[in-house]
C-alpha cells in the first residue's frame, strides 16, 4: 500500500525540518544570501522532500515573507518572539522543531535536519538510531562539533553556494536617465 504522502512506492517519504534563522545567518556569515525558492526545489528534486517545515520567529510586518515561503512550498511554523531591552528580537525555534519532528515521526521514512546548531544533537541521535536520519544540512563549516559522530550525514550548504545563491536580478538599465 502506498501512502498518500509518497508519490512513488519506491521512494521514501522525506520531510525536512529547517531552523530558518540558523540557516539564514549561517549562509549570510559566509557572504551570500540563500534563494529560498531554489532551496525548496533542491530539497524536492534531490531528496524527494514532500514536507519542508520552516521554523521562524514571528515578527510583525514580515507577513508577506511568511506568505511567500508558503507559496514556495514550505510549511511555515511561527514562534512568538520577544523584544529584549537592547532592541534585539529573540525567537528560539529549537523546541518547536524537535516537537514537530516527533509529532510527524510516523509521516516520514527519512528526515533532513537543516541546522548547524548542536542543540539538535538529541534529535539527530534519535533519528539516526531509528534509521530515519537522511542528512544533516549545515549552513557552513562552523556547525557544532557535537555532530562529529554523524559526519557521514552532514552536507554543507556552502558547498552548494553556486546553485542555491540568490542572484541579483539586473534589468540591463543602469545610470541616470536624461530629463
Task: Give the per-residue pLDDT at 144.
Answer: 96
Question: All 3 cell numbers of residue 143?
Answer: 556547525
User: Can you give the pLDDT at residue 169?
Assistant: 57
**How many C-beta neighbours within 10 Å does residue 48 have?**
17
In tens, the pLDDT along 86-105 reads 888 788 899 999 999 999 99
Q: What is the pTM of this model?
A: 0.87
End-to-end alpha carbon distance in the chain: 69
Domain boundaries in the chain? 18-108+126-139+154-164
DSSP-derived 3-state class of residue 50: strand
- Supply the pLDDT for residue 84: 87
Q: Which of 163, 164, 144 shows the shortest CA–CA distance to 154? A: 144
pLDDT of residue 20: 95
pLDDT of residue 8: 53
Q: Which residues of the chain have pLDDT under 70?
A: 1-9, 169-179
Say whether 59 sits in a helix, a strand or coil: coil
Amino acid at each position: 500500500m502506498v501512502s498518500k504522502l509518497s508519490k512513488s512506492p519506491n521512494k521514501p517519504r522525506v520531510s525536512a525540518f529547517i531552523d530558518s534563522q540558523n540557516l539564514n545567518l549561517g549562509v549570510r556569515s559566509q557572504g551570500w544570501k540563500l534563494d529560498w525558492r531554489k532551496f525548496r526545489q533542491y530539497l524536492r528534486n534531490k531528496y524527494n522532500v514532500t514536507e519542508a517545515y520552516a521554523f521562524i520567529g514571528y515578527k510583525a510586518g514580515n507577513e508577506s515573507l511568511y506568505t511567500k515561503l508558503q507559496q514556495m512550498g514550505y510549511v511555515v511554523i511561527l514562534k512568538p518572539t520577544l523584544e529584549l531591552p537592547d532592541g534585539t528580537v529573540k525567537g528560539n525555534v529549537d523546541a518547536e522543531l524537535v516537537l514537530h519532528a516527533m509529532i510527524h515521526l510516523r509521516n516520514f521514512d527519512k528526515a533532513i535536519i537543516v541546522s548547524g546548531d548542536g542543540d539538535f544533537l538529541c534529535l539527530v541521535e534519535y533519528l539516526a538510531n531509528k534509521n530515519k536520519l537522511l542528512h544533516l544540512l549545515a549552513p557552513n563549516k562552523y556547525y557544532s562539533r557535537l555532530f562529529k559522530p554523524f559526519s557521514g550525514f552532514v552536507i554543507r550548504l556552502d558547498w552548494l553556494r553556486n546553485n542555491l545563491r540568490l542572484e541579483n536580478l539586473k534589468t540591463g538599465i543602469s545610470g541616470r536617465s536624461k530629463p
